[in-house]
Structures are given as structure tokens and as C-alpha cells.
């Protein structure tokens, strides 16, 4: 049994050239793991922005969508947990690409390991503003009202908001790591073997009691992912050709 996990690619974040290079790296990784994958988990923020209208999806990155569909076509179960940048999903990923969508933290057993998944957003103690706005942004009425905007305007506004938010929070410390560790400890005390997150963009593996907290890092600075094979989990970095243990690259 072999499972792979990654998060925080943020496709669409940078310039067209930067994003093509990033997507090329991601595609080389996906093609490499496809033959050995039994299941694949995307733990949020694959896209820097995603808003799905009833008959329209954002332009670009069709190569990534086609690569992910190939996993489903080969019988590989793909789980997609919404992050704080790509949570406005409809049924496209489920009906067209055969993925299993998760809009809230979830738990499942993989290769005998009880794994709890949480993107990581909203766990910071000091980020009161995000905690207040998160329920509003994810409210069904808010989504329905936003869909009244023309897609060209809706996408432009959302991407601008994403950039503004990133600039405002850059360099600020909200206690994300402390909140994530606290949440992980609670879940491990309740029986989880692994608590897996993204969001913080810093890869790490922290033993807690009988289990571990894993942050998957990102594909902006680290190109990291996790591999669970025969019950053993390892954090790795993709060098464009193969995956190497992340500990060797630190």
C-alpha cells in the first residue's frame, strides 16, 4: 500500500513563466508516482484561487487537471481537502475528475494508520480576523451571491483580494505552529496516528506521544510531499526527477 500527500502548490500565484515552471515540476512528480499510487491526498490550496460557477471554471492549469483525472481513470482514489484559497469548489472535481472532496477536516485509515487531515487554517490563536470571516466566506448564501458576478469580474476581484491578504499577513506571526501542534496533540490523544496539515508552508515532522504531526510544506519554496509505504511515512522533496528524504536536504 503506497499513498502520497502534498499541499499548497498555489497554482496561479506568480507570473506566467513562474507558474509554468511550478506546474512542470508538479506534473513530473505526478507522472512519477502514478504507477505506484494506491491513493493520493491533496491537503488544500492546490490553486491560489478557485471559484467554480455552475457552468464555468477558472482558466488555466488544464494539464494539472488532466494529470489528476488520469489517477482516477486508473482506479487511484484521490482525496481533495479544501484549503483557505480553493474552498469555493462545486462538483467539477467530483463529477468530472472522480475525486472525493472534503470541505472540513476529516479522518481516514490508510495502510493501517489512522490519519487526521486538516488544512491548518483557522487554528492560529491570534488570527481573530480570519476566524471571524471564514464562516462568512464559506456560507452558501455568500457563494450564491458571488456567483451573480460575471466570471471575469469575480475572478479578478478574488485574485486581487488574495494578493492583498498575502501582503498584509506576510511577516506577521499569528501562532499558527502553536495552534497546529495543539490541535495535533488533541487528535493523537483521541487515537490518531498521524495528523497531517499544510497551510504554514514549512515542512516538518514532530513526534507527539504515540503519533506524529506532519506539515507538508509547499511547492513554492520546498517542493515537499509525504509518502506512506508499507506503514512507514517519510517526508520527501522532489528534485525534478526523484524524491529524496527531506531531512537530507535541510
Indicate if the pLDDT at residue 244 is higher than 50. yes
**Cell 522533496 maps to which residue?**
237
Indicate if the pLDDT at residue 165 is higher than 80. no
Q: Is 114 left (phi over 0), alpha (psi -120 to 50) or beta?
A: beta
Which band of pLDDT confidence, cut at 50, 70 and 90, is reported for residue 174? very low
Contact between residue 220 and residue 22 where contact means Cβ atoms under 8 Å apart? yes
Q: How many CA atoms lie within 13 A of 193 on its CB side?
A: 12
Indicate if the pLDDT at residue 233 is higher than 60. yes
What pLDDT, on the 0 to 100 scale, is given for residue 164?
A: 61
Phi, psi of 77 (to 5 degrees): -75, 125
More confident residue, 45 or 55: 45
Mean pLDDT of the chain: 88
Question: Span 175-204, mean pLDDT?
Answer: 91
Kindly state the percentage of the chain with pLDDT values over 90.
62
Alpha-carbon distance of 124 to 49, in angstroms, equals 21
Alpha-carbon distance of 173 to 187, in angstroms, equals 24
Which band of pLDDT confidence, cut at 50, 70 and 90, is reported for residue 131? low
What pLDDT, on the 0 to 100 scale, is given for residue 109?
A: 96
Question: Span 93-103, mean pLDDT?
Answer: 95
Question: Span 127-148, mean pLDDT?
Answer: 72
Find the range with the poorest average confidence among 37-46, 53-62, 98-107, 209-218.
Answer: 53-62
The CATH number assigned to the domain holding 77 equals 3.60.21.10
The residues, any chain, with a CB within 8 Å of residue 78's CB and separated by 6 or more, are: 39, 40, 41, 42, 68, 71, 72, 97, 98, 99, 100
Domain range spanning residue 105?
Answer: 2-248
Q: Strand, coil or helix: what is 151?
A: helix
Total tally of structural domains belonging to the chain: 1
What pLDDT, on the 0 to 100 scale, is given for residue 177?
A: 80
Amino acid at each position: 500500500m503506497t499513498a502520497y500527500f502534498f499541499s499548497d502548490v498555489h497554482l496561479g500565484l506568480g507570473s506566467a513563466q513562474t507558474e509554468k515552471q511550478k506546474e512542470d515540476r508538479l506534473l513530473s512528480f505526478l507522472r512519477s508516482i502514478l504507477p505506484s499510487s494506491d491513493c493520493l491526498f491533496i491537503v488544500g490550496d492546490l490553486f491560489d484561487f478557485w471559484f467554480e460557477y455552475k457552468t464555468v471554471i477558472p482558466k488555466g492549469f488544464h494539464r494539472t487537471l488532466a494529470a489528476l483525472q488520469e489517477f482516477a481513470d486508473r482506479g487511484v482514489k484521490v482525496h481533495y481537502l479544501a484549503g483557505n484559497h480553493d474552498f469555493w469548489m462545486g462538483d467539477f472535481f467530483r463529477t468530472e475528475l472522480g475525486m472525493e472532496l472534503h470541505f472540513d477536516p476529516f479522518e481516514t485509515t490508510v495502510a493501517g494508520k489512522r490519519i487526521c487531515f486538516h488544512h491548518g487554517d483557522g487554528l492560529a490563536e491570534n488570527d481573530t480576523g480570519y476566524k471571524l470571516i471564514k464562516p462568512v466566506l464559506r456560507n452558501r448564501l455568500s457563494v450564491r451571491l458571488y456567483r451573480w458576478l460575471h466570471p471575469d469580474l469575480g475572478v479578478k476581484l478574488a485574485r486581487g483580494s488574495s494578493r492583498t491578504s498575502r501582503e498584509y499577513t506576510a511577516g506577521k506571526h499569528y501562532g499558527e505552529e502553536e495552534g497546529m501542534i495543539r490541535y495535533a496533540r488533541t487528535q493523537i490523544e483521541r487515537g490518531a496516528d498521524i495528523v497531517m496539515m499544510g497551510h504554514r508552508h514549512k515542512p516538518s515532522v514532530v513526534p507527539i506521544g504515540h503519533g506524529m504531526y506532519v506539515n507538508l510544506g509547499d511547492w513554492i519554496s520546498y517542493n515537499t510531499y509525504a509518502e506512506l509505504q508499507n506503514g512507514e511515512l517519510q517526508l520527501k522533496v522532489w528534485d525534478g526527477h526523484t524524491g529524496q528524504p527531506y531531512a537530507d536536504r535541510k
